[in-house]
Amino acid sequence: MSTLKRLFRDDAGFVVSAELILVATVAVIGLLVGLAAVRDGVISELSDVAGAIQDVNQSYSIDGVVGHNANTAGFNFIDLTDECDSDNDASGASDNCITFDGVVTAEDGTTFTRSVNSPST
């Protein structure tokens, strides 16, 4: 335990405390930029997953049955276009009413400013 305390209190590796502050500042700035890139990547991937789930057509129809002594009526459900969903969504762009503030660069190098996609009307 005394070795660990001695190593923790040893500051012989740093010339001045300004060096420590400079290194820590650069590390924190790099960390913030990296976390912002991770945030945008996660949002983009979750938007792709949401778009894939949104594009699943859940329509169904069950025909009625007529027998000798009984019958049943048929029923159906038609899955309509969801809000913010359209047939002309751009490939590689965010959809589902997701907007980014600032400049966003897509995977193909295209840059978007302010709003990537607006709700369809």
Q: Is residue 76 part of a domain?
A: no
Q: Is residue 8 part of a domain?
A: no
Q: Is residue 43 part of a domain?
A: yes
pLDDT of residue 116: 42
Task: Mark out the alpha helices in the chain (DSSP H runs).
Answer: 2-9, 17-54
Q: Is residue 95 part of a domain?
A: yes
Q: Note whether 105 and 111 are within 8 A (CB).
A: yes
Q: Is residue 26 part of a domain?
A: yes
What's the pTM? 0.47
Q: Note whether 92 and 108 are within 8 A (CB).
A: yes
Chain-centre distance for alpha carbon 81: 21
Q: Is residue 98 part of a domain?
A: yes
Q: How confident is the model at residue 11 (pLDDT cuts 50, 70, 90)?
A: low
Bigger pLDDT: 78 or 116? 78
Q: Which domain, by its residues, includes 26? A: 14-55+86-113
Nearest to 31 by CA among 39, 19, 43: 39
Q: Is residue 66 part of a domain?
A: no
By DSSP bridging, strand 111-113 and strand 103-105 are antiparallel
Percent of the residues in the chain that have a pLDDT greater than 70, as a whole number? 64
Q: Note whether 84 and 120 are within 8 A (CB).
A: yes
pLDDT of residue 13: 61
| Residue 55 parent element (H or E) | none
Q: Is residue 71 part of a domain?
A: no
Number of domains in the chain: 1
pLDDT of residue 27: 94
Please name the residue that has the structure tokens 């996660």. Answer: 42
